Amino acid sequence: MVSPLTLEVVTPYLRPGVYKLQLKAAKGVVVQSEVTFTSVPSDVDKEFDRVSKPSTGARDLKDLIELLKTIASSNKDFQVRAFARYQAALLYFAATGLVALGSRSQ
C-alpha cells in the first residue's frame, strides 16, 4: 500500500483499457471487485497496434508475424514477449484457417 487512499499493485502485461480488480480472499476464494483500474498505453502497445490495425498500405501477414517475433525476442518484459508470441500464433493459425482471428479462450 502506498497510502490509505492509494494501492500499488503489480499486474501481468495488459493492453490499454479499463479492468476490474479480482481479489483472492482467504482459502483461495476469488472475489470480483467493482473497483476498476486503467491500464495506460506503453511504447510497445504502439507496435501491437500496428499489427492489430494495419495501416492503409495493408501489410503482408508474414511481415506482421515478423514484427511480433521481433517484439518477442527483444522486449525486456517476459509477459510482453509471451503476449507477442501468442498474437503471432493467432495470426499464423488464422492464416491457416485453424482459428478465427482475434478469438481467445479465457
Provide the pLDDT for residue 58: 47
Contact criterion met (CB below 8 Å) for 19 and 36: yes
Task: Please report the pLDDT score of residue 99 as a whole number.
Answer: 54
Report the percent of the chain where pLDDT is more than 70: 82
Say how far apart CA 71 and CA 56 lie, in whole Å.
Answer: 22
Show me where the domains of the chain are located.
43-95
pLDDT at 75: 94
Instruction: Please report, as a single letter, which amino acid is at residue 28.
Output: G
For the stretch 48-76, pLDDT in tens is 888 877 654 446 788 888 999 999 999 99
- Determine the length of the chain: 106
**For residue 74, which of 44, 42, 39 has the smallest C-alpha distance?**
44
pLDDT digits (tens, 9 = 90+) for 19-38: 988 877 778 788 888 888 88
Residue 35 has what pLDDT? 83
Predicted confidence at residue 59, as pLDDT, reads 61
pLDDT score, position 70 = 94
Euclidean distance between CA atoms 39 and 106, whole angstroms: 19
Q: Would the pTM count as exceeding 0.75?
A: no
User: Residues 39, 14: contact at Cβ < 8 Å?
Assistant: yes
